[in-house]
Structure 1
Amino acid sequence: MWTEEMVAGRPAWRHVASGVVFRKVPGGAFRMGLSEAELAAVRVIERGGGVEDTVEPFFAGAGDAQPVREVRVESFLIARHPLTVAQVQHWLPEYEDDYADAESGTARLEDDLDDLLDALPFRLPSEAEWEYAARAGTTTLTFRGDGKPGEDQVLDDFSDEQRTAATENAFGLAAMGSANEICADVWIPGFAGAPADARPRTGDGPRTVRGGAADVYPWQGCDEWLLLLAATRYEHTQFTAVRPVAPMPPRR
């Protein structure tokens, strides 16, 4: 079911049937949420003339990603990038995508989402797992630092291995923040009362989404770069990408 191999110079586990490549994310603890230092970094970008429109809605919604708290995460496997159209078609052969230009592009699911989640032998990441994976040991706006992220961090097609590898973070994960990726957690504004481990918050209602900068590409100068930030979160409403999580395969 699994093969262990090197992908872009890093260990990886490939799900043989579907071809989905997973990376191991090591366990550890991190500060989850939008910190005051990150808010200050956005203000620095603003003062430096890096804001095209206004970041005031971002600051008004900052409480949705606070308070910052320490979260403990166990090791897990997560897909190297969101599922592509071709990979979704492994489980849903009749799947057609209205948003992707090629089978190697990120699949964005609407009516087929529940069918895919039922068919997948994997699960969705919790919000804590997603953010921990996106940060990859950093505490900055993105894994590249506190500078304004640019369109070079957006990746929506994975046919070019060199380009894919260039967007990987320290955990070997590509395109974190590019597509809006659905998480296992139900949408709850803010982290008050959230667990100190990586369990998802469950309940009725829409799920939480992370990322989404490629969903509004080409950018129109409305500060779409904010969707690339590790702490950006919002409520799922329409289409979404899926980056599944799996337990570590048993050693033979």
Structure 2
Amino acid sequence: MWTEVIVAGRPAWRHTMSGVVFREVPGGTFRMGLSDAELDAVRAIERSGGVEDALEPFFASAGDAQPVREVRVEPFLIARHPLTVAQVRHWLPEYEDFYADSHSGTARLKDDLVDLLEALPFRLPSEAEWEYAARAGTTTLTFRGDGRPGEDHILYDFGDEERTAAGENAFGLAAMGSAGEICADVWIPGFAGAPADARPRTGDGPRTVRGGAADLYPWQGCDEWLLLLSATRDKHAQFAAVRPAAPLPSR
């Protein structure tokens, strides 16, 4: 089912049947959520004139990603980037995408989402796993630091291997934050009472989505860059991308 390969100079696992490349994420602990330091970094960007609109809505919703807490994450596999149109067609041959520009672009699923999740031999990452993977050991706004991320941070097509590799974080994962990626957790505002491990929170209602800056591209000057932040979270409303996760293969 799995083949060990080297992709962009890093070890990876390729799912033999579909060709989807996964990275092995090491276990560890991290501080999950939107920290005071990150809020201060956003305020610094605002003071410097690096925003288009007032950021009151962002600060008002900061509690949705708080309180910050320490979370323990076990090792797992997660796809190098969100599933592309071509990859989705491995499981849903009749899939048509009206949002992607090419078959190598991120698949943004709406009506076909449930069908894909039922067909996949993988699971969705929990929110904790997703944020841990996005941060890749960092505590800043994005894995690149506390600066204002720009449109050059967006990656939604993976036909250019050189550009994909250049967009990877320390875990070898590309495009974290670009597409709105659906997680296993149900949407619950804030992390009060959330587990100290990476288990997803379950219940009724929409699931949580992480990222989404490329879903609004070309940007209209509404500070869409905030969707690239590692801690940004929202509830699933319309279409979503899928970045599957899996247990570590046995060697």
Shorter-chain TM-score above 0.5 = yes
> Helix, strand or coil for the counterpart of 2:77?
strand
Unaligned runs of 5+ in 2: none
For 1:193, the aligned partner's letter is G
Alignment-derived partner of residue 194 in structure 1: 194
One-letter code aligned to 1:65: A
Equivalent residue number for residue 232 of structure 2: 232
Alignment of structure 1 residues 155-166 onto 2, 5 Å: 155-166=155-166
* Matched residue, 1:20: 20
How many Å separate the matches in 1 of 2:62 and 2:53? 17
| Counterpart-to-counterpart distance in 2, 1:33 and 1:102 | 34
Q: Which residue number in structure 2 is paired with residue 37 of structure 1?
A: 37
Unaligned runs of 5+ in 1: none
User: Where do residues 138-217 of structure 1 align in structure 2 (5 Å cutoff)?
Assistant: 138-217=138-217
Report the number of matched residues: 251
Alpha-carbon distance in structure 1 between the residues aligned to 2:230 and 2:207: 17
Give the TM-score taking structure 2 as reference length: 0.99
TM-score by length of 1: 0.99
Give yes or no for contact 1:54–1:222 (8 Å, CA) kept in 2: no
CA distance in 2, matches of 1:151, 1:209: 20
- By how many angstroms is 1:54 displaced? 1.6
Shift >4 Å, 4+ stretches? none
Give deviations 1:145-176, integer Å, cap 9, x for gaps: 00000111100000000000011000000000
Query: Residue 182 of structure 2: SS of its match in structure 1?
Result: strand
Cα distance, 1:13 vs structure 2: 0.3
Q: In 2, Cα distance between the equivalents of 1:21 and 1:153?
A: 21
* 2:122 alignment partner in structure 1: 122
- SS of the equivalent of 2:243 reads coil
CA contact (8 A) 1:4 1:12 kept: yes
Q: Deviations over 1:104-160 (max 9, x none)?
A: 000000111110000000000000000000000000000000000011110000000
In structure 1, what is the equivalent of residue 98 of structure 2?
98
Q: Secondary structure, in 3 states, of the residue corresponding to 1:13?
A: strand
Amino acid at match of 1:225: W
1:58-115 CA-to-partner distances (Å, cap 9, x unmatched) read: 0000000000000000000000000000000000001100101110000000111110
Query: 1:2 deviation in Å?
Result: 1.2
Q: What secondary structure is seen at the aligned counterpart in 2 of 1:3?
A: strand
Counterpart of 1:10? 10
* CA-CA distance at 1:17 after TM superposition: 1.0
Q: Secondary structure at the match of 2:72?
A: strand
SS of equivalent to 2:188: coil
In structure 2, C-alpha distance between the alignment counterparts of 1:246 and 1:186, rounded to whole Å: 19
Deviation at 1:53, TM superposition (A): 1.1
SS of 1:78's equivalent in the other structure is strand
